[in-house]
């Protein structure tokens, strides 16, 4: 196995619950340690990798959406309450109904569906057509 492949596999071998933990018991990490890398080097490379991955995911979420995606977003929006201030944690979002409320995003360019208890389920779209429609409907 090439050195670059060993490093890539060591960087990508992590638990989702603790991505900053470098577990020396994993064979990928052992192989990287044997060729001279330290746990700190693996950890810093992994944090850079995850930062870039999350950045790409954010860019993907902000991309222009199709008409069918707009329909899906509006269908999910119907199940939520409109709350422009979002001042409380009065929403209990556990279980099947994870979507709680929606509002215009803080940057003023998109619309967001927020799940307070499960932030991984938040939806954000930057779409001028959808934003104008929802702004006119809810902000009058």
* pLDDT tens by residue, the chain, 140 residues: 788 898 888 888 877 777 778 888 889 999 999 999 999 999 999 999 988 888 887 776 666 678 888 898 888 888 888 888 764 455 555 554 556 788 888 888 888 888 777 777 778 888 888 888 899 998 86
Query: Are both 75 and 126 inside the same structural domain?
Result: yes
Pairs from 12-18 (Cβ < 8 Å, separation ≥ 24): 12/49, 14/46
Neighbours of 41 (CB within 10 A): 16
Domain count of the fold of the chain: 2
Looking at 11, 35, 62, which one is the last position of a domain?
62
Query: Are both 55 and 72 inside the same structural domain?
Result: no
Q: Which two tokens stand for residue 124?
A: 């954000």
Query: Are both 132 and 74 inside the same structural domain?
Result: yes
Residues spanned by the domain of 101: 67-139
């Amino acid at each position: 196995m090439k050195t670059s492949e060993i490093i890539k596999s060591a960087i990508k071998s992590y638990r989702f619950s603790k991505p900053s933990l470098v577990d020396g018991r994993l064979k990928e990490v052992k192989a990287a340690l044997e060729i001279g890398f330290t746990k700190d080097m693996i950890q810093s490379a992994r944090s850079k990798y995850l930062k870039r991955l999350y950045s790409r995911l954010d860019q993907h979420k902000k991309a222009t959406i199709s008409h069918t995606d707009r329909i899906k977003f509006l269908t999910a929006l119907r199940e939520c309450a409109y709350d422009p201030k979002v001042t409380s944690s009065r929403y209990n979002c556990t279980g099947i109904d994870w979507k709680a409320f929606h509002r215009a995003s803080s940057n003023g360019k998109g619309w967001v569906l927020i799940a307070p208890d499960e932030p991984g389920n938040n939806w954000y779209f930057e779409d001028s057509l959808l934003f104008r429609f929802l702004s006119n409907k809810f902000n009058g």
